[in-house]
Chains A and B, each alone.
Chain A
Amino acid sequence: MTDLTHLTIAEASKKLTAKEFTALELTDAYLSAIDAANGTLNAYTTVTPDLARAQASASDQRIASGSAGVLEGIPLGIKDLFATQDVHTQAASHILDGFKPKYESTVTQNLWDAGAVMLGKLNMDEFAMGSSNESSYYGPVINPWRADGSTENRVPGGSSGGSAAAVAAFLCAGATATDTGGSIRQPAAFTGTVGIKPTYGRCSRWGIAAYASSLDQAGPIARDVRDAAILLKAMASVDPKDTTSVDLPVPDYEAAIGKSLSGMKIGIPREYRVEGMPEEIEQLWQQGIAWLREAGAEIVDISLPHTKYALPAYYIVAPAEASSNLARYDGVRYGLRVDGKDIADMYEKTRAAGFGDEVKRRIMIGTYVLSAGYYDAYYLRAQKVRTLIKQDFETVFHAGVDAILTPATPSSAFAIGDKELAADPVKMYLNDVFTITVNMAGLPGLSVPAGLDAHGLPLGLQLIGKPFEEETLFQVASVIEKAAGTFTPKKWW
């Protein structure tokens, strides 16, 4: 029998329906793979074998009785940011020690309602703050990809590093992830997987530990475009518990795959050609342009003049919202408590011990920019710049552009413990230079693998779409995927 963990979701669903194997066998295959690999890759913070087997057995019964859901028996990994009832939920932070919520996030509930099986919780940057998965309390995730002939460990990207690594290493069929500034798309690009951050409001944020509420969105990471489409359809919903979730029907994203690009206009923004960008990234971009042109799309040069201000505006808006959202972690209602001489001392000691360096940094920046006398100079100005960034996109979409093609990241996966990046937080932030504008404007963005660099490491291209036109992204991404193929790391772990 072929290795069940190497089947895509679409293939596994077909074979489960045809009763070629059971959901329990599929789940057991993944649990064995996790057992063998997680000590090395550190993708999961918690594995839930008993729950997974119980869910898989229930799936087998539903398949037998003809009442299977669209994800029936499909084993998924869940980012540690999503609340999962009675299961470890810590946002990879020490401050949520022992937290097991009594409720389920809307996105994960949607997945269980569709018949999916939970394998466990996936490692991530603490509170989704990071681009390398090195800020996790549980230690870094190791990218299953290594440079040709090298044994050096690389980062899987972040913050959804566990999600991307687990999908790439066949430790789950697909994974949930979240994206505030690039946290789905950058790790997808670093691991040769497909990741989509849908339009703000497409997925409910209820039950997802909040980082920056006006930017956070959930989305899937999957092995191919079709699987990402299947997962997003199951995750998305309007939710009365999240007033920013939109009341629009969820389309059948899968139906968009394979449609002709004839008559479609793809914009190429000149501002995404940044200084110091490796020649390989430029070549990859040109290759992507060529593929889309061959597929019948019209390529147009566009300008998004405020692009360079997205990153600095983000580093005001996101920390400001984070400082407010993370005020709730005070040692009173859940998680870690460090005793102090009085209640203020308890708060301060708890938060000092519970938060890691990057989280503290962002809380401090946020507290400062919101403090009396600085609000107008920083926060208000950043929110105005955000309006300008959104207007840039509106202008090109009004001019008839259907989607925008850019590189996903300015480099391939870098080494764990990169000293230059560790010494300068701003350098690390620059990893999100191509993805962050999309969050600032609330648009959908998809990262699709498009090739390997000279060292054999995967590189991705990003597609940016109009609000709630995720279908276009799946349509265009499937053309790139067809031309580029899919990418699998050589197993060394």
Chain B
Amino acid sequence: MSVDLATVKRVARLARIAVSDDEAARMESELNGILGFVEQLSEVNVDGVEPMTSVTPMLMKKRVDAVTDGNKADDIVANAPNSDRNFFLVPKVVE
């Protein structure tokens, strides 16, 4: 399988990365190089093979559903590019 320019632009949009036409053209050939490389996986017979979901056999650890942390709003917004009274500020999303 390979990607065309329109697909590259659609994927960039899904990934929320702005790309210029030049960048998209460059990416098209690079991504096709990588997709061509991974294509060899189609040679492998995977009939009846379980997909790996955990590399170490272990049960998912669980904990009590209780609040164990919090009251650190100042810490949480400390690195925000733009914040006001412990809110993250973003461009208006609702008219």
Interface residues of A, Cβ cutoff 8 Å to B: 98-103, 199-201, 214-215, 240, 243-244, 246, 306, 308-309, 311-313, 315-316, 323, 327, 330-337, 339-349, 351-352, 355, 360-361, 363-365, 367-368, 371, 374, 377-378, 380-388, 390, 424-426, 429, 440-442, 467
Contact of A315 among B15, B34, B51, B54 (CB under 8 A): B34
**CB atoms of B91 and A386 under 8 A apart:** no
Question: Do B91 and A342 have beta carbons less than 8 Å apart?
Answer: yes
Instruction: State the CA gap A137–B63 with chains docked (Å).
Output: 39
Contact A315 B38 (CB under 8 A): yes
Docked-complex contact A365 and B31, CB < 8 angstroms: yes
**For B6, what are the chain A residues with a Cβ–Cβ distance below 8 Å?**
none
Binary contact track B1-19/A, C-beta < 8 Å → 1, others 0: 1010001100111111111
Task: Check if B82 sits within 8 Å of A340, measured CB to CB.
Answer: no
Asked whether A364 lies within 8 Å of B50 as measured between CB atoms, the reply is no
Let me know if A246 and B55 touch, CB within 8 A: no
B1-55 contacts to A (CB < 8 Å): 1, 3, 7-8, 11-19, 27, 30-31, 33-35, 37-42, 44, 46, 49-55
Chain B proximity of A197: nearest CB distance (Å): 13
Answer yes or no: B66 CB below 8 A from chain A CBs: no
Question: Given A346-B91, A385-B41 in contact, is the A337-B82 Cβ separation under 8 Å?
Answer: yes
Closest 5 pairs between A and B when the two form their complex, measured CB to CB: A442-B55, A383-B51, A337-B81, A334-B79, A102-B75
Question: Which of B16, B37, B40 is close to A348, meaning CB atoms less than 8 Å apart?
Answer: B16
Residues of A within 8 A of B19 (CB): 352
Pair B27/A364 contact, Cβ less than 8 Å: yes
Given A200-B56, A243-B61, A244-B58, 10 other A-B contacts at CB below 8 A?
Answer: A101-B79, A102-B75, A201-B58, A312-B39, A351-B15, A361-B34, A364-B31, A367-B15, A368-B35, A381-B42
Q: Indicate if the CB atoms of A383 and B40 lie closer than 8 Å.
A: no
Residues of chain A lying within 8 A (CB to CB) of residue B81: 331-332, 334-337
For the complex, give the distance between the alpha carbons of A347 and B13 in Å.
Answer: 10
Give B8's nearest chain A residue, CB to CB. A364
A to B CB contacts below 8 Å, 6 in the list: A214-B55, A312-B41, A334-B81, A337-B82, A363-B15, A365-B31
Measured in the bound complex, the distance between the Cα atoms of B44 and A254 in whole Å is 41
Other-chain contact of B72, A102, A200, A331, A352 (Cβ < 8 Å): A102
- Decide if B93 is an interface residue (CB 8 Å cutoff): yes
Across the two chains, which residue of chain A brings its CB closest to B33? Answer: A426
Q: A200-B56, A309-B40 are in contact. Are A364 and B49 (CB under 8 A)?
A: no
Contact present for A426 and B34 (CB under 8 Å) = yes
Question: CB distance B18 to A352 under 8 Å?
Answer: yes
- The number of residues on chain B lying at the interface, defined by a beta carbon within 8 Å of a beta carbon of chain A, is 53
| A309-B44, A312-B40 as given contacts; A246 in contact with B88, CB under 8 Å | no
Which of B3, B31, B44, B90: most chain A CB closer than 10 A? B44
Contact status B14-A387, CB under 8 Å: no
Given contacts A102-B75, A201-B56, A348-B16, contact A312 B33 (CB under 8 A): no
Check B44–A243 contact: CB distance below 8 A: no
Q: A361 touching B90 by the CB < 8 A rule? A: no
Cα A103 to Cα B72 in complex, Å, equals: 11
Nearest CB on A from B31, distance (A): 6
Bound-complex Cα distance A348 to B75 (A): 26
Q: Once the chains bind, are A426 and B15 in contact (CB under 8 Å)?
A: no
For residue B17, which residues in chain A have a CB less than 8 angstroms away from its CB?
348, 351-352, 355, 360, 363-364
> What are the residues of chain B within 8 A of A102 when measuring CB–CB?
72, 75-76, 78-79
B40 touches A333 (CB 8 A): no
Query: In the assembled complex, how far is the CB of residue B86 from the closest CB belonging to chain A, in whole angstroms?
Result: 12
Are B55 and A200 in touch, CB under 8 angstroms? Answer: yes
List chain A residues, Cβ under 8 A from B78: 100, 102
Contact A367–B14 (Cβ < 8 Å)? yes
Residues of A near B67 (CB, < 8 A) are none
Output the nearest chain B residue to A353 by Cβ-Cβ distance: B18
A residues near B60, Cβ cutoff 8 Å: 243
> A201, A344, A367, A384: which contacts B50 (Cβ < 8 A)?
A384
In contact, B46 and A333 (Cβ under 8 angstroms):
no
Say how far A210's CB is from chain B's closest CB, in angstroms: 15
Residues of A with C-beta under 8 A to B56: 199-201, 244, 246, 442, 467
Q: How far is the CB of B84 from chain A (nearest CB, A)?
A: 13
Contact partners of A388 in chain B: CB under 8 A = 44, 46, 49
Contacts of B35 in A (CB 8 A): 365, 368
Q: Which residues on B sit within 8 Å (CB–CB) of A243?
A: 60-61
Q: Which residues of A contact B61 (CB under 8 A)?
A: 240, 243
- The answer to whether residues A387 and B16 also contact, given A333-B88, A368-B31 and a CB cut-off of 8 A, is no
A128 to chain B, nearest CB (A): 18
Chain B residues with CB under 8 A of A308: 40
- Give Cα distance in the complex from A282 to B29, angstroms: 34
- What's the minimum C-beta distance from B2 to chain A, rounded to whole angstroms? 11
- Report the minimal beta-carbon distance from A265 to chain B, rounded to whole angstroms: 23
